[in-house]
Chain A
Amino acid sequence: MMAGRIKPITIAAIVFFLVSAVAPLFVASWATLFALILAKGIVVLGIVLLLQAGQVSFGHAMFFATGAYAAAFWGKFVGGGDILLFLVLGGVSSTIFGLIVGLFVVRYREIFFGMLNLAFSMVLWSLLEKMFHYTNGADGIRVARPGLLGLTFTPETFQYVILYVSLAIAIVAFYAVQRYLDSPLGHMLRAMKSNETRLEYLGMSARRVLLIGYVISALLGGIGGTLVAIIQQIATPEFGFWTKSGEFVFIAILGGGAHAFGAFAGAAMFECVRFYAAAHLADSWQLILGVVLIVIILYAPNGLIGLRQRYGQARQGGH
């Protein structure tokens, strides 16, 4: 890629972020929709990161839940709160949790990596579900509307505040993940997918490379979880259930795991289908999403962002 030339996918990302900043100003109900898209996109960014190393975590909802409960616990046991404080809490706790779990799971690959992640996440889920005294069990904990830097907001303003906070974090996360993947460390992460043995022969520790990637993806999961808990004003054990982890992997594949923007493209598609299907076809949004997923897997396995590339290739005569 020539320096100075902007890739089409970067333009797509800029357009997407601009639309999420401007469109909700015209349709108020889109503020929450776009905030959710951005927050979930941040989580899925972490899944895409691990996909670069060829690893699929079927338990990433545990970091999502960690971030959400960090905010919820503060509200329940300390009271009050601030968006920035919640984000710091969610980020720090999920990073620490990610480091602890990561130390164990990076020893394994593929199905074993996925299985162990699932096992850890289910342990967390059962604790959240059963430690009723602390977590209110399946009902979850309400997250009261926090302020920002000492300011308090009405519900109408707040939905825009959280939208722009999510947007700012999403842009930073997107840019940082891009930079990370382009750095030597990111290339080593990608090398794990193609040839891990060679990486070791070059003198790198594959486990350490994966651990760094894993902790970053846990941090992204936690931040996304905190944002969703603030947006939806609740944290429930369902945030850490395996179906949630499946949903994140689903979004990553839907968008396309080859590029960081796939996370946001997938999240946008997923949440829009859910938003409109839930509004018009009350009980069958899950059915529709399932069919969408099957069509994507069978006919466009590189996801939404892969469609454009395929179209581009066809135009250039298959190269």
Chain B
Amino acid sequence: MNSTLAILAVLDGISYAALVFLVSVGLSLIFGVLRVVNVAHGSLYAFGAYLAATFSLAIAPISPWLTYPALLAASIVIGVVCGGFIERFLLRPLYGRDDVLQLLITFAAFMIMDNLQRLIWGVQPIFAAEPLKLLPNITVFNVSYTSYQVILLPAVALATLFGLRYFLRHTLAGAVILAVTEDREASTAIGIDAQRVYFVTFVIGASLAALGGALASPTTSLVPGMGADMIVLSFAVAATAGLGQIEGTALTALMIGLTRAFVIYLQPEFEVLVPYLLMVLVLLVRPFGLFGAVQVRKI
């Protein structure tokens, strides 16, 4: 492997890690607060991607620069509408019941959304690369790469990471979420509306999944099945990091992104194997994940 390929692999890894981080951190946040593994998370990612593509294809003729706000708008719409619906009508009646039922009802949501996605957007691949083409290419050590992927995506991921950190540790709303996570009963007793906290957290997590999809949409063709692939991948990242660990998720996403990128250049057939193999190895040694404390109660 020569140095050009190595740099290419690093850049690939970083841009991929940024997307995976956005989706995984949403999953991790939801688990940290609600203690629910959201199987529909991948579908929210796919819906975000498809709606973003629809929006940006519609708005590009007016002004291509409007595609960026369109991506953001798509992810918020999906997060609030789909995420809100899932939390309010499917999960809320099940709090305090068997964990299996909570997990399975999000599986039902996954089946429905997967089907709806095919009914609404069809099975033909969709391309909407406008936002990717607008930004210039940049050259890193003689390797040319799109600045959308190596600057914009990591920037959004970092902004999300620090934004979430700031939100949870330094704002009142964040403190309220942490309080509910720590002890739901006690926080309800002092007047916190735990149901609202669950709703808001789920919507934030869902929006992050949709944002990941929306930002991914210019870089790849949208096909059925992308949601089913993404949910296990983001789950692998979140579980390897330790469910509920925000900074850990970022580091793990970077680790898996880079490993995967190098494997693609060296042994392409093992690409899909990488995240799951890492997950098995890490979970065997540290079932609470690389960064998880034995009592996984933090977010």
Contacts and interface: CB of A to CB of B under 8 A. Distances in A.
B114 interface: yes
B251 interface: no
A114 B119 CA distance: 31
Given A126-B276, A287-B111, A132 B269 contact: yes
A90 to B, nearest CB: 23
Contacts of B236: 119, 122
SS class, residues of chain A in contact with chain B:
helix
Nearest to B284: A104
Contacts of B269: 130-132
B112 interface: yes
B284 A116 contact: yes
Contact of B283 (A51, A115, A243, A283): A115
A297 B94 contact: yes
A114 B235 CA distance: 12
B101 A253 contact: yes
B104 A123 contact: no
Interface in B91-113: 93-94, 97-101, 103-105, 107-112
A110 B284 contact: no
A112 B228 contact: no
A104 B111 CA distance: 30
Contacts of A56: 99-100, 103
Interface stretch (A2-10, A206-214, A220-228, A288-296): A288-296
A297 B110 CA distance: 15
Contact of A286 (B94, B114, B276, B288): B114
B90 interface: yes
Interface string A270-314: 000000000000011011011101100110010000000000000
B280 A293 contact: no
Interface in A145-200: none
B118 interface: yes
Interface in A60-109: 104, 107-108
B283 A119 contact: yes
A290 B115 contact: yes
B102 to A, nearest CB: 9
Interface in A125-140: 126-127, 129-132
A108 B39 contact: no
B273 A123 contact: yes
Contacts of B288: 112
A116 B279 CA distance: 8
